[in-house]
Structure 1
Amino acid sequence: MVSPPLAWLYFNLTETSSLIQIYFSFVAKKLHALSIDGFLIYLLSLEGSIFNVSHTPLYQDMTQPLCNYFISSSHNTYLMEDQLRGQSSVEGYIRALKRGCRCVEVDTWDGPNGEPIVYHGHTFTSKILFRDVVSAINKYAFRASKFPVILSLENHCSVEQQDTMAQHLKSILGEQLVMGTLDGRIPTRLPSPEELRGRILLKGKKIGSLEEQPEDSYIGDVSEEEDSGGTEEENSRNEDKRTPKKSKERLSQALSDCIIYCKSVQFESFKHSRTYYKLYEMSSFTEYKARKLVREPGNEFVRHNAWQLTRIYPTGLRTDSSNYNPQEMWNVGCQMVALNFQTAGVEMDLNDGLFQQNACCGYILKPPFLRSADTNFNPDQPQDTAGYSPVILSIQVKVSVARK
């Protein structure tokens, strides 16, 4: 008999004969063996996947508060390429939403003819109309998932064009846009993804609080990014040594009224947040600032994220729209770990891997030790956590090679 031209891998037929019949060549079936190519085909198949197929459908509890979930989040969603000269397009929103993304970013600036525009400010990126972005979101928001979409707004517009933004949001999104608490009362807990099915939340600055609404317009920094009080671009420049300049702008009452469960506030300290902030208020950090908070008292950050939403975004120094490792942010329970979806790589592979489960709905329930406000979990010292039990995965591959 003529020996096969390739080396063959032999293994236990009682366990694998059915796989051989499915995945391998006629010669392999005859020899009860698999080729290198056949083995690779098997590894890439469902049977060879490390993914737990029982987690493919919607299997998690979706009735817990929003802060108890990891939320698939995009940064600079409108960009198709880099942050300096790249193209802005509504296609960025369409692609992200079709991938199950549930938090998209909208950077707004004053445009011609009284129409707000979306682009990466102070760069050569192209510009698109805000109303076109809202229309695309309205059309594709719930194609991949019925659970809520959050519009993370970085607002640089004048009051007049903010009023226009509010008009577009209300007229285009209609009843999908959350304009008040679900039960008409001051919330004592954040609503759940299930309660917000088919709804769209706006995240941004708000005049006053839900408890008391002042009549006058707010004067202050209206940028969505809250890392140190400046815009995303300002926060990214010399983050250790600068006193950022706050732009004193007025916030439209009409736009403010669209902010309900995701009011952006400036972070000062974990103690300050516990003492003064409401559960519907949240902060945003650059990856740089977030890492500093993780290194300080890691457990404090975990406890903070057990009751308040947090959004992390890439530093503006990533002009090529590269990404940071999202895992270290998930390790402390950060819910909205925003990545540049337009940039492929290991970071987006990790993101896709996490959100592949639970019907790709864009919401993944955090483990219990990241949901308790009294947790003692510290990602740097996990062995100190109650119930800590590391999982050890051992893989042994035995290979026999047939010789000519």
Structure 2
Amino acid sequence: MQQGTLMRKVKSKSWKKQRYFKLQEDCMTIWYQSKRTGKTESAFSISDVETVREGHQSEVLQSVAEEFPPERCFTIVFYGRRGNLDLVAGSADEAQCWVQGLRQLIEVATTMDQREKIDQWIRDWFQKADKNKDGRMNFKEVQRLLKMMNVDMNEDHALRLFQDADKSESGTLEGEEFVLFYKALTQREEVLSLFREYSEDGKKLTLLELADFLREEQLEDEGTEELAMELIDKYEPSETARARHVLSADGFLMYLCSLEGSIFNPQHRGLWQDMSQPLCHYFISSSHNTYLIEDQLRGHSSIEGYIRALKRGCRCLEVDCWDGPNGEPMVYHGHTFTSKIPFREVVSTLGKYAFKTSDYPVILSLENHCSMEQQEVLAQQLKDILGEQLLTTTIDGHVPSQLPSPEELKHKILLKGKKIGRLEDTLDGPGDEAPDVSDDDNEAEAEEERRRAKVRTQPGSALQKDKETLAQALSDCVIYCKNVPFRGFQEARSHSRPSEISSLSEAKARKLIRDEGNEFVRHNAWQLTRIYPSGMRTDSSNYSPQEMWNVGCQIVALNFQTAGMEMDLCDGLFSQNGCCGYVLKPPFMRDKETLFNPSDPSSREGPGPITLTIQVISGQQLPKVANSKEGAIIDPLVRVEIYGVPADQAHQETKYIENNGFNPRWDETLQFQLHVPELALIRFVVEDYDKTSRNDFVGQFTLAFANIKPGYRHIHLLSKDGTSIPPSSLFVHIRITEPPGPEQD
């Protein structure tokens, strides 16, 4: 790989060009250049690569399958929304060499600790700035490097740091000298003063001093001495200090920058919620127009859309099916110029990727526009390809009185669509009777059900119409998610079943939230509701999912292909609980008789509002704004946004710091009142201040309030795409103040 290899880069059946690929000496960067011009086209870091797929595992490589055998083909898949790189090697051996090599390097990149990541980051910058590639850097090169790193430093100060680091007095920095220079540059005064506050001699923290810090500042309440011991073993770089059970200032900084020192409670990263409640008690990560990776008028339909959504933990996918040539149903956005993919390919992809990120059920939301003949094909392909994964009967053969839990439906794919008649009509055995409704309360309902059953089988009735337009085989695949029109909460309460689901447009949902908020919350305590974006959003933009979650809507479908605040909220909510795509709703949203209404926070039983105090202290190595002018340095500000019930919606921001994206200091305190903290999401946004136009986005991080750890914490920023941008971070102090309890007499 370091010698370099000539391979074909394939973009389509007609675009296949030779490129020279080479792994750089740092073993972390790959660049490639045109064979014809010899110009370096592009470079990418191993840390940007998510995985490598062998063979014809992309649509592009499938399109050239007849030309190139699978053993010579592979696909490099990047994090975020960046397109794949499809390659054809000259031989099977060459392909294997790259596939195995890349996999090993990805393994190394993902298991690096914080110190190794920073060392790697320093080396990357050194290589970028070392223009003449002699492994040394003169002062002019260092000045250019500082500009690239977002630092506008006084020349005298920069020269002083440079001379201090130039131990060999050669007028250049090499290797270790550059590391010294970087350390001086990144001296964290705010961390050092915190360290000295708890250290008696200012040089080290003893085991007991560290335990005091963890208890008093980080509010770690259990086993603080054991935890202190663990942290010293894990983060102290000096062996002698480790042996003496003390933590140096370097080790202290390493701890604060680690996952344990992050704002996100590490215990909530894994599966931490009860997964045995009915499906309707969870928020479910849901995608709209999943097959699109661009806009919905001219965008490209791709199975890649399904792979990306499933890898992000999405558990409800949308499939628009239309009649295709040769009796093969196709998936695309009807009446538009989007490209088409065979339904068979979508189902195969689903079978392969459904449970790679999460074991919990996937709901396939079927938009069926097919003829009766091709509906039969849909049903056949679902059964043939998915086999046991497709749920084709209730889990116990009985009519459900409530929906099963994610736990009971593990590794199952549920079809959501229209169904002929009722679920009981398709079940055999002891559960196939209509529910026993002999007690007085339900007599009227039973009478009404008999009347409706009569109407349903008359010519022209909905049932009759379904029988004429829906293939029985496809209808039989719909078990727990039968699509029914929404005719108001009263109608739903008296006639609907837990296995029925209604889909509402965002506008219809907003009206119901405004007019009947409490009824909506109650409805969602026992039945599923799906919300989808307005048809006017031809650019595939998104609505804010928060107001839908506020009334307990479970399936709030968003365009995953469109980055922005709305997807940040979605990623923020579902980044907890093992990224399994299911998040348990708060207790007051799971009770059918709840009085909660999001527009009136006092309807939630419990103590009054809590106070969230955020001290924004500093920023570290913030990235430059995409497409910014050469040498431009950002003027960063931090905005904290609260999303939740209307009374909690708020945002506040710090002042901006001029010309410093490298180590800005704000030292500002922002304070918020949260009336319904259980529903609140907190979004930290860094922007580049611009007095003449809109501020530019720099980075963000969003999490549910329930996952916040108090104390001194780092927030590791994400790009617009939701991918990490190490080592960019914010350093904050978080305090959560509960309301005082009832006064004692």
Q: TM-score, normalised by structure 2?
A: 0.46
Amino acid at match of 1:144: T
Contact 2:420 2:466 in 1 (8 A): no
How much has 1:75 moved relative to structure 2? Answer: 0.4
Amino acid at match of 1:370: M
How much has 1:98 moved relative to structure 2? Answer: 1.0
**How far apart, in 2, do the equivalents of 1:43 and 1:266 lie?**
52
Structure 1 position 386 matched with structure 2 position 605 = yes
Misfit runs of 4+, over 4 Å? 1-8, 14-19, 21-24, 41-45, 218-222, 246-249, 397-401
Amino acid at match of 1:208: G
| Bigger radius of gyration | 2
Amino acid at match of 2:476: D
**How far apart, in 1, do the equivalents of 2:331 and 2:592 lie?**
38
Provide closer, same or farther for how the CA distance between residues 374 and 125 of structure 1 changes in structure 2, counting only shifts above 3 A: same
How much has 1:50 moved relative to structure 2? Answer: 2.3
**How far apart, in 1, do the equivalents of 2:420 and 2:527 lie?**
19
Contact 1:219 1:250 in 2 (8 A): no
2:490 is matched with 271
**How far apart, in 2, do the equivalents of 1:288 and 1:303 lie?**
20
SS in 2 for 1:272: helix
Contact 1:105 1:153 in 2 (8 A): yes
The structure that is strand-richer by fraction is: 2
2:273 is matched with 60
Contact 1:220 1:248 in 2 (8 A): no
Provide closer, same or farther for how the CA distance between residues 203 and 247 of structure 1 changes in structure 2, counting only shifts above 3 A: closer
Q: Which of 97, 103, 127 is 2:340 aligned to?
A: 127
2:349 is matched with 136
2:31 is matched with none
Provide closer, same or farther for how the CA distance between residues 181 and 360 of structure 1 changes in structure 2, counting only shifts above 3 A: same
SS in 2 for 1:364: strand
Provide closer, same or farther for how the CA distance between residues 296 and 200 of structure 1 changes in structure 2, counting only shifts above 3 A: same
How much has 1:42 moved relative to structure 2? Answer: 8.8
Report % sequence identity. 64
Could you report, residue by residue, the CA deviation over 1:287-327 in whole angstroms, capped at 9, with x for unpaired residues?
A: 11111111011111100100010011111111111111111
Amino acid at match of 1:151: L
1:374 is matched with 593
Structure 1 position 261 matched with structure 2 position 480 = yes
Q: Which of 388, 392, 401 is 1:179 aligned to?
A: 392
2:421 is matched with 208
Contact 2:363 2:413 in 1 (8 A): yes
Structure 1 position 325 matched with structure 2 position 325 = no
Contact 2:260 2:266 in 1 (8 A): no
Structure 1 position 100 matched with structure 2 position 304 = no
Structure 1 position 12 matched with structure 2 position 12 = no
Contact 2:366 2:415 in 1 (8 A): yes
How much has 1:116 moved relative to structure 2? Answer: 0.5
1:152 is matched with 365
**How far apart, in 2, do the equivalents of 1:248 and 1:256 lie?**
9
The structure that is helix-richer by fraction is: 2
**How far apart, in 1, do the equivalents of 2:344 and 2:487 lie?**
34
Provide closer, same or farther for how the CA distance between residues 285 and 98 of structure 1 changes in structure 2, counting only shifts above 3 A: same
Could you report, residue by residue, the CA deviation over 1:101-145 in whole angstroms, capped at 9, with x for unpaired residues?
A: 110000000111111100000000000000110000000000001
Alignment map for 1:2-401 (pairs within 5 Å)? 8-9=189-190, 11-13=193-195, 14-15=197-198, 45-213=258-426, 250-396=469-615
Could you report, residue by residue, the CA deviation over 1:166-225 in whole angstroms, capped at 9, with x for unpaired residues?
A: 0000000001111111111111110100100111100000000012259x9x98999xxx
Q: Which has the higher contact order (CA 8 A, sep 6+)?
A: 1
Contact 2:504 2:530 in 1 (8 A): yes
1:229 is matched with none
How much has 1:33 moved relative to structure 2? Answer: 8.7
Provide closer, same or farther for how the CA distance between residues 113 and 294 of structure 1 changes in structure 2, counting only shifts above 3 A: same
Amino acid at match of 1:100: G
**How far apart, in 1, do the equivalents of 2:522 and 2:466 lie?**
32
Count of matched residue positions in the alignment of Structure 1 and Structure 2: 366
**How far apart, in 2, do the equivalents of 1:348 and 1:110 lie?**
32
Amino acid at match of 1:12: L
Provide closer, same or farther for how the CA distance between residues 389 and 219 of structure 1 changes in structure 2, counting only shifts above 3 A: farther
Could you report, residue by residue, the CA deviation over 1:248-297 in whole angstroms, capped at 9, with x for unpaired residues?
A: 96000000000000000000100010011111001011111111111011
RMSD in angstroms over aligned alpha carbons?
Answer: 3.3
How much has 1:46 moved relative to structure 2? Answer: 2.5
**How far apart, in 2, do the equivalents of 1:103 and 1:377 lie?**
27
Provide closer, same or farther for how the CA distance between residues 58 and 5 of structure 1 changes in structure 2, counting only shifts above 3 A: closer
**How far apart, in 2, do the equivalents of 1:144 and 1:272 lie?**
38
Provide closer, same or farther for how the CA distance between residues 353 and 42 of structure 1 changes in structure 2, counting only shifts above 3 A: farther
